[in-house]
Amino acid sequence: MKKILFLVFLIYSILKPSISFSLVEIDITRGNLDPMPISVSPFFSNDDTNDKIKNILNINDLGLEISKVIENNLEKTGLFDAIEREAFLQKPDIAHLKPRFEDWSLIKSQVLITGKVATKIINNKDYINVEFKLWDVLGAKFVDGFSLTTTPRSWRRVGHKISDKVYERLTGESGYFDTRIIYVAEEGPKTQRVKKLALMDQDGFNTKYITLGNELVLTPRFNPADDKIITYMSYFRNDPRVYIVNLQTGDRKVVGDFRGMTFAPRFSPNGQKLIMSLAKDGNSEIWVRDLETNLQEKLTDHPSIDTSPSYSPDGKYITFNSDRSGYQQIYVMRSDGSNVKRISFGKGIYGTPVWSPRGDLIAFTKLHKGRFFIGVMRTDGTGERLLTENFYQEAPSWSPNGRVIIFYRETKTDKKGSGFSAKLWSIDLTGYNERLVKTETDASDPSWSPLLKN
């Protein structure tokens, strides 16, 4: 696999964030029907910079492109409404130095983002330097900003990092834009789907295919402690097993030495352990393997199907689904396998429990009266809330800040059995802001990375 280019260094914060600011903060704990008007002024760059960047990236106006990345990210949260560029009264370069706040409040903007792009040569290599500032239009003051230098090809990540900063300052929660999604790219007829592992930026750009489609691959998942490591299940040589892959080196290894099929893998929060199911002689149990000591241990012991395990963020508990009551239901146990408790008691069957990175909720798939739901419940099973309903959908995965859930949805085929598709969708924890996540091909089994490091 091609080495992923990453940001080189974060040089400095321009100024310390002002301690008090009059900015209207956004309440993201409930559905936001009144998004905050925001202006993203195109990032400014001089002609000389533009020429150089054109040579390197074949992009005419990189500053404008970065501002589009930011605009798109913020708009997709449903919390912000980006004002059209044509309405801007002030030029980008001057706005970045000192905005005329009247001009921005005149077009009803509450927040302004400005920036500047320049090129730099370090050790004979080209770099770009991007400076950004966040302004409070109503309070007429500078709020926050930074400057960073990176390889030109990482320019989209600069936009994501700025988006994260803006989101964090305005909502009080960490962002989720400088992240990736690993998923299964699907093509071909429903009866003979070709499946490949694919990796893309959270906003659908920079798609890379990790496998070629020669063998069936399923359920890729990020290591929450290392965005370069994933686990997934592959039918390589018709021997379905769990693998771990290093996305940077391409190094791939099978996990453990089990007789039977291993599947449904997930990392522990610190990435040192892997939990999965082992199906053998008609029975599926949950196992854990310590990736450092290579010791493995069976955690469940029941003749029913026990699968889809997921750790709590503190690593002390595991949630999973089991049909020991007759139908698929959600259970929680200590991470040593003791103290198993059923937590789902609503109508219908429940599967794919996934613990929120904040620890307070478990997302799940529910089947009731022939319809599929994605929902959340507290870790004791109370407070069940269904977020979305459809013909078929499953496999929720949390954004690293626990505010958004990504999942996949399949369509019902027509009488001739055609019209099948599988797509990724995202929805806010509030149940609002359901959105199609664009992918190059059909897609399923999404897993959201942690915030990228470096």
Partner 1 sequence: MNLSKIFKNAFLVIVFGLIVTACATKKSVKTTTESSSTTTTTKAAETQKADPIEKLDALMQGDVYIGSDTVGELASGVPDRVFFATNETILTTASRETLRKQAAWLRQNSNVTVVVEGHADERGTREYNLALGERRANAAKDYLMTYGVSSDRIKVLSYGKERPVDSGSNPLSWSKNRRSVTVKAN
Q: Name the residue nearer to partner 1 (CB basis): 9 or 391.
A: 391
Q: Pick one of 85, 156, 193, 435: the residue that binds partner 1 (CB under 8 A).
A: 193
211 lies in the site for partner 1, by CB under 8 A: no
What's CA 203's distance to the chain center, in Å? 9
Residue 412 as a binder of partner 1 (CB under 8 A): the answer is yes
Phi, psi dihedrals of residue 55, rounded to the nearest 5°: -65, -40
Q: Is 390 in the site for partner 1 (CB under 8 A)?
A: no
Q: Considering only 139-147, 164-172, 355-363, 388-396, which stretch makes contact with partner 1 by CB under 8 A? A: 388-396
Note the helical H segments in 8-61: 47-57
| Minimal distance, residue 420 CB to partner 1, in Å | 6
Nearer to partner 1, 254 or 261 (CB): 261
**Residue 414 CB neighbours (<10 A):** 9
Q: Which of 318, 210, 324, 227 is nearest to 274 (CA)?
A: 318
Is 236 among the residues that bind partner 1 (CB under 8 A)?
A: no
Cα–Cα distance for residue pair 105/140, rounded to 1 Å? 9
Contact with partner 1 (CB under 8 A): which of 228, 359, 420, 430? 420
> CA-to-CA distance for 117 and 152, rounded, in angstroms?
11
β-sheet bridge partners, residue 127: 120
Distance CA 294, CA 290 (A): 5
Amino acid at 210: I
Q: Which is nearer to partner 1, 193 or 228 (CB)?
A: 193
- Mask of contacts with partner 1, 34-73, x by CB under 8 A? ----------------------------------------
- CA distances 336 to 275, 305, 311, 362, Å, are 11, 18, 11, 19
| Under 8 Å between Cβ of 193 and 144 | no
216 binds partner 1 (CB under 8 A): yes
- Asked if 307 touches partner 1 (CB under 8 A), the answer is yes
188 binds partner 1 (CB under 8 A): no
Taking the least distance from each CB to partner 1, the nearer of 72 and 304 is 304
State how far the Cα of 347 lies from the Cα of 367, in Å rounded to an integer. 9
Note the residues at the interface with partner 1 (CB under 8 A).
189-193, 216, 218-219, 238, 240, 260-261, 263-264, 277, 279, 281-284, 305, 307-308, 321, 323, 327-328, 351-352, 365, 367, 370, 391-392, 394-395, 410, 412-413, 415, 417-418, 420, 444-445
